Amino acid sequence: MSIPGLSSIPGLGQAPATATFAPTFVTSATVVHELQANSEWRFEVAFGTSIEVKLLSGTAEIFGTELAEKHTYTFRGTKAAIFTWHGCRIEVSGPCEEYVAEDTPMIPYVNTHFALERLRDEAKEKGAEGPKVLVVGPNNAGKTSLIKMLAAYAIKMGRQPMVINTDSREGMLSVPGSLTATPFSSIIDVEQGWGSSPTSGPSPVPVKLPLCYYYGLPSPEDNTSMFKQVLTRLALAAASRLTADPAVKETGMIIDTPGAMAQGKEGYDLISHIVREFSVNVIIIIGSERLYSEMNRRFASGTTNTLPITVVKLDKSGGCVDRDETYLRHCQEAAIKEYFFGDPRRTLSPHTQNVSFDEATIYRIREPNKTDTSFLPGGEADAIFSTSQIYDKSDPSPEMLHCVFAIMHATLRDSQETIRDASVMGFVYVAGVDEKKRVIKVLAPLNTRISDRPMVWGSWPEMSGSLI
């Protein structure tokens, strides 16, 4: 059994989209582009620079969210695309790399949205939960862009999708290193990516309220057992939020994943864990024939909560570009700076606190040595790590300078398992360590006492220099 219209989406199996001409670099002069119907303008803006884009006439959207006519949008340090179904004119001011593509995968993408809408209508009639959609694929395949598009289209239809981020390298409405679940009831802020959280201050677009859990390592492979445990807690919290709100319940979930899951037995096992914990019933594969074949073998005849699991393959957009480590590092540092200091539209002033060495309770995440369990079956290795010590208690030291700590919703008396399973209260940045005075200076978004909470120190996010 399959989703009507989803397994036979027009465009599946076609060649990847191609561009009409090679990228060009536009200077700061103002340029007007005439875009034909079903084409998109793809652009890259370097960090430290910005461009302004204005829709002069027609209709256009960016990752599913419509642009307002005559409104000026500012983009900084991003790679994105503006698509038009019926043609439009846009005005661009500022330096960027750009080109226009006439062949795009938008038709199969929007057909996927309508197939999910049919499932949501059925769920509403039955009082059941909407589709739980998992998007998997290799790095730089366009997973997050597709999810943003599907979420934006659902919001247009009056739905409230819950978007789950399981990629710790890229924080969604939070600092990198965290995993989040966020219900969306208002439009996505096209300039801010996903939008802003309450710590970002006032915003013309309503803020989002993410459920946040901390993993603190860059890849699921760094500590598979801990990653699974955090995923399980996130799934429980998301399921509770789902049942508490009928609008979110009938819309369902859309789950983003890191590219590391797209290859190897360990990655496939993590996908199976997500499918089981989140009760996934739709798996979308993007950009990998091999992964599609493997997921079909594992799940095409399976069920979750008596619902059949449908596996669908979508083509990777020709607009997807590789993001090297330098670009990802810039994105990470920009997200951390925005959390503490705001963005060019909203300047924030974080509170400074001095915490004595004696008052600080800091736990550093252990990264298990995989060679220790290389000859053990996966289940036995997970059992060993799940019962071993999760954190090492750390005394304040200069090594902590410029690091970010997660403040947990737990007490100093709680066990390490309880601390690991707790949600995140917020984050602090270590701005100074004075060994003579035995104090650490931290920056926090709010003026609240943090010394009565456990602070968790992970290797991710890592800062290359001072925020100040």
Spatial separation of the C-alpha atoms in residues 384 and 164, rounded to whole Å = 28
- At residue 4, the pLDDT reads 41
- Please, are residues 455 and 410 in contact by the beta-carbon 8 Å criterion? no
Which residues carry a binding-site annotation?
A: 40, 79, 140-145
Q: How confident is the model at residue 387 (pLDDT cuts 50, 70, 90)?
A: very low
Mean pLDDT rounded to a whole number for the chain: 87
CA distance to 4, 11, 12, 135, 299, per residue, from 8 (Å): 8, 9, 8, 18, 18
Least confident of 5-9, 121-125, 279-283: 5-9
* Segment 284-335, tens digit of pLDDT: 999 999 999 999 999 987 777 768 899 999 999 988 888 888 888 888 888 8
Q: Look at the pTM and tell me if it is higher than 0.85.
A: yes
Place 385 in a pLDDT band, splitting at 50, 70 and 90. very low
List, in order, residues 6 or more apart from 207 with CB less than 8 Å away.
Answer: 195, 196, 197, 198, 200
pLDDT-based confidence at residue 371 (cuts at 50, 70, 90) = very low
pLDDT score of 56 more than 90: yes
> pLDDT, tens digit, for every residue of 412-421?
999 999 999 9
- Reported as type and span, the H/E element at residue 383 is helix 378-387
DSSP bridge pairs for 133: 254, 282
Whether 246 shows a pLDDT value over 80: the answer reads yes
Say how far apart CA 39 and CA 413 lie, in whole Å: 58
Exposed, middle or buried, 445 (CB in 10 Å: 0-12/13-18/19+)? buried
Domains belonging to the chain, first-starting first, are 24-101 (2.60.120.1030), 106-314 (3.40.50.300), 349-457 (2.40.30.330)
The annotated binding site for ATP is made up of: 40, 79, 140-145
